Chain A
Amino acid sequence: QKEVEQNSGPLSVPEGAIASLNCTYSDRGSQSFFWYRQYSGKSPELIMFIYSNGDKEDGRFTAQLNKASQYVSLLIRDSQPSDSATYLCAVKYPSGSARQLTFGSGTQLTVLP
């Protein structure tokens, strides 16, 4: 069983809409959660992280965490064509592990002009 699951997509939304990207994880001890964006042919770049249950907002991006349901999501408001990329969810192993992050396989998002 994969430890971090994402819908691979592709997910298409019209420009200006809200894009919703979802991620589930299997380790209840996980404490930190990261969203990376990866443009085609480029390396991943961090866009948000969240540690606590609830919502965290940064500009057009909102990360939502529900530890009881082992679920983390990323909402992109007012989606732009420049948001078209693959979004990777990453989960940090519990404290004491040097192994760091486990990545999902990513969701490909296309924002249609």
Chain B
Amino acid sequence: QVQLVQSGAEVRTTGSSVRVSCKAPRNTFRTYLISWVRQAPGQGLEWMGGINPLFGTTNSAQKFQGRLSMSADKSTATAYLELSSLKSEDTALYYCVRINPGSVLYDYWSGYPDLWGQGTLVTVSS
């Protein structure tokens, strides 16, 4: 079964950083982009940013710019998210998602999430 497998739960203190990994099936990076989405407890889904794993180009939501770093290792088909200067409000479930380009290509980044990782709980406390 095709799946994205994420690293385990993390506990961090405010001001520190966290790194989450997402291992994809081989060949995923040839066709799909990877994005990161988070969900605070009892809240909705929030797109954080994404990466083109083949070229390493990234994009992110304005609110995370400066704190969010994404990377991808093509040799292991693993994507990484690193969030720095953590605040208590960053406590959330973090998902990696595969972006399917779909049948209508508006530009290089257009598409929709068609596969989700199991989520990684990041808890930030003081």
A is bound by B: no
Q: Which residues of A contact B (CB under 8 A)?
A: none
